[in-house]
């Protein structure tokens, strides 16, 4: 009985320590979610500025921008670059499985036998899931641990995947850039895909036909084609930064949900252990009382 009580005390202590760790991880995940969501919100103004610059540059390069279409190329020239954002750490539920399943469902539609498909993973966990699914990866990147490190990741991606020097003009159709990541939602998060290159024709026409927000109409000084290339590079940077930040916010939302479930389960386990401990302790006390009463009765003289 004593040994069992000692074992229960140890289990209760271990469960209590684990509950403290889980609560710390919950607080950390909740704080990180706010950090990454704020970075996405702060990026919105800059993204709007880039879009306005793109609109002006598109009109300067082609005054009939609403009719602008990308030139045709052969399928054999096409290269599909796919970036799949996941996590480096565990305790995130099905976060990595969800985005991998979404990417696998979308990639066959983006390529055929004559199209080269190059896939990169962001995160060790999602890298392992892709390899298990039979995807031959071109490489992988580490998940940034803070907002400040997202810029470094975006730079590494753009340098590594070697996009055309002129993504705005004739080289654009030969390079397709796809992003697969989880985006925060009311229910937690959900997988999304985004095509950055080639630029969507309807999106370009919409930008070129936008009304300028002020009475002072802008104009491009210098070479309009170079300005367009610069704004497209900024558009790629903004889109990759946003995808990474939203993926990180989703990762922490998934971890927060997992820690909430763990906290609830540990709480239920603690209740069960404490109930068992009280029952065993009461049984031990009752047994000792019975022994005392039995001994007292044995010492009484025969009546």
What is the tens place of the pLDDT at every residue in 58-95?
Answer: 888 876 544 444 444 344 447 889 999 999 988 898 99
Exposed/middle/buried for residue 76 (C-beta within 10 Å: 0-12, 13-18, 19+): exposed
| 268, 272, 277, 279 alpha-carbon torsion, rounded to 10° | 140
Specify if 59 maps to a domain: yes
How many domains, the chain? 1
What is this structure's pTM? 0.81
Backbone angles phi, psi at 181, to 5 degrees: -160, 170
Within a domain: residue 39?
A: yes
Euclidean distance between CA atoms 196 and 167, whole angstroms: 10
Among the listed residues 139, 99, 94, 146, the one whose alpha carbon sits nearest the alpha carbon of residue 118: 139
Would you say residue 272 lies in a domain? no
State residue 202's pLDDT score.
Answer: 85
Q: Return the pLDDT at 97.
A: 96
Let me know if residue 288 belongs to a domain: no
**105 is in which domain, residue-wise?**
28-257
- Residue 118's CATH number: 3.40.1380.10
> Are the beta carbons of 91 and 255 closer than 8 angstroms?
yes
What pLDDT is attached to residue 75?
40
pLDDT number for residue 293: 73
Low-confidence ranges of the chain (pLDDT < 50): 65-77, 111, 169-173
Q: Is residue 293 part of a domain?
A: no
What was the pLDDT predicted at 182?
97
Task: Write down the pLDDT at residue 101.
Answer: 96
Predicted confidence at residue 284, as pLDDT, reads 77
Q: Are strands 116-122 and 79-85 parallel, antiparallel or unpaired?
A: parallel
In a domain, 12, yes or no: no
């Amino acid at each position: 009985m004593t040994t069992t009580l000692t074992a229960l005390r140890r289990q209760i202590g271990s469960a209590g320590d684990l509950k403290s760790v889980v609560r710390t991880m919950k607080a950390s995940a909740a704080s990180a979610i706010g950090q990454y969501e704020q970075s996405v919100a702060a990026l919105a103004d800059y993204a709007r500025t880039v879009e306005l610059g793109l609109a002006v540059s598109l009109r300067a390069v082609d005054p009939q921008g609403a009719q602008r279409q990308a030139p045709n190329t052969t399928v054999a020239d096409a290269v599909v670059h796919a970036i799949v954002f996941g996590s480096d750490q565990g305790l995130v539920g099905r976060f990595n499985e969800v985005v991998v399943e979404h990417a696998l469902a979308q990639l066959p539609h983006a390529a055929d036998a004559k199209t080269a498909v190059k896939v990169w993973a962001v995160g060790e966990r999602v890298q392992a899931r892709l390899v298990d699914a039979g995807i031959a990866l071109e490489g992988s990147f580490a998940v940034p641990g803070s907002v400040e490190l997202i810029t470094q990741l975006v730079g590494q991606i753009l340098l590594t995947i070697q996009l055309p020097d002129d993504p705005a003009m004739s080289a654009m159709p030969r390079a397709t850039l796809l992003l697969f990541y989880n985006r925060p939602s009311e229910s937690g998060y959900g997988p999304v895909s985004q095509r950055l290159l080639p630029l969507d024709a309807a999106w370009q026409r919409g930008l070129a036909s936008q009304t300028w927000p002020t009475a002072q109409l802008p104009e491009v000084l210098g070479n309009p084609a170079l300005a367009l290339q610069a704004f497209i590079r900024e558009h790629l940077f903004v889109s990759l930064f946003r995808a990474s930040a939203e993926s990180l916010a989703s990762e922490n939302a998934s971890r927060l949900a997992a820690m909430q479930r763990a906290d609830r389960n540990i709480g239920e386990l603690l209740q069960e252990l404490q109930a068992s401990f009280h029952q065993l302790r009461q049984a031990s006390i009752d047994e000792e009382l019975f022994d005392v009463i039995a001994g007292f009765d044995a010492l009484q003289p025969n009546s």
